[in-house]
Copies of this chain bind each other. A is one copy, B any other.
């Protein structure tokens, strides 16, 4: 099985490397050539452009920044025209449900299977091959690529035949993590109003009630006001939240927490926190309470 891999960012790089280590026949491409160095030194085929990467591939995996860059690399470049009939394109990035639907149709028209398989996990989880993979699309196509998923992730969850189903699920997942950060932020301000430190409060909560990395990691960041380096950038979390709001619009469901988060992301970006870590949601809460400056 030959795999064309597009996008060697903080997530794509370790993912592609794991595939190489597992013996997968790879051709990789990245817009910035310097990200390909490690692969070159290992003898992996480096494609000069997306078209070269996908030509002859049985499976194309893309892990690009957003809707626009995915469209540029796969569609606008003409690369999709070079994907073999019957091949599978697995988009593992977090994109909008609308874009996923559009991609599904465009791929179908060209005889290529489109599978959405966004992932949960930060770069270190990707490195360890322990991602949680949320997959949706044609079941047979997913069967074909399951061995690749098994290299990349600890577990694959399947959410249906329509790729957009996996995207909606990913957006809902990120939304829930955002809610946990916001809840810790607001609760910390409440106890601080009574001279209880966020540190001791969150230590208790992440020991007694929420002893899981999502709470523990962000809780520690909030308690110590440490938001750089960014594990997941605030501006990207804001983008995902906008996509969640758009998906919620389609679902027709009132989502008041989602509305609050959306406003808070705008607030943070307006105050220059876009490049900090996602946990900087707590900076928005603190700023509003007059506790920052």
Contact = CB atoms under 8 A, between A and B. Distances in A.
Interface of A: 97, 120, 132, 134, 155, 157, 159-160, 162, 164-165, 168-169, 171-173, 175-177, 179-180, 182-184, 186-196, 200-201, 204-205, 207-212, 214, 242, 244-245, 247-260, 262-264, 266-267, 269-272, 285, 288-291
B262 A259 contact: yes
Contact of A288 (B159, B207, B210, B288): B288
Given A266-B289, A289-B252, A190 B209 contact: no
A245 B165 CA distance: 24
Contacts of A260: 256-257, 259-260
Given A173-B187, A195-B165, A267-B288, A182 B257 contact: yes
Given A180-B183, A182-B257, A205-B176, A290 B271 contact: yes
Contacts of A255: 186, 189-190, 263
B262 A173 contact: no
| A interface SS class | helix
Task: In the A-B complex, list the 4 residue pairs whose CB atoms are closest, starting with the nearest.
Answer: A193-B251, A259-B259, A270-B290, A179-B183
Copies of the polypeptide in the assembly: 4
Contacts of A187: 172-173, 175-176
Nearest to A213: B209
B194 A168 contact: yes
A250 B205 contact: no
Contacts of A207: 155
A14 B259 CA distance: 39
Nearest to A187: B172
Contact of A259 (B171, B175, B208, B263): B263
Given A120-B209, A210-B214, A254-B266, A168 B183 contact: no
Interface centre among A175, A196, A271 (most CB of B within 10 A): A196
Given A157-B204, A175-B187, A190-B244, 18 more contacts: A132-B204, A162-B195, A169-B201, A172-B191, A176-B205, A186-B258, A189-B253, A189-B255, A190-B253, A193-B250, A210-B212, A245-B245, A252-B270, A253-B285, A254-B270, A260-B260, A266-B289, A270-B288
A165 B270 CA distance: 21
A285 B251 CA distance: 13
A196 B285 CA distance: 29
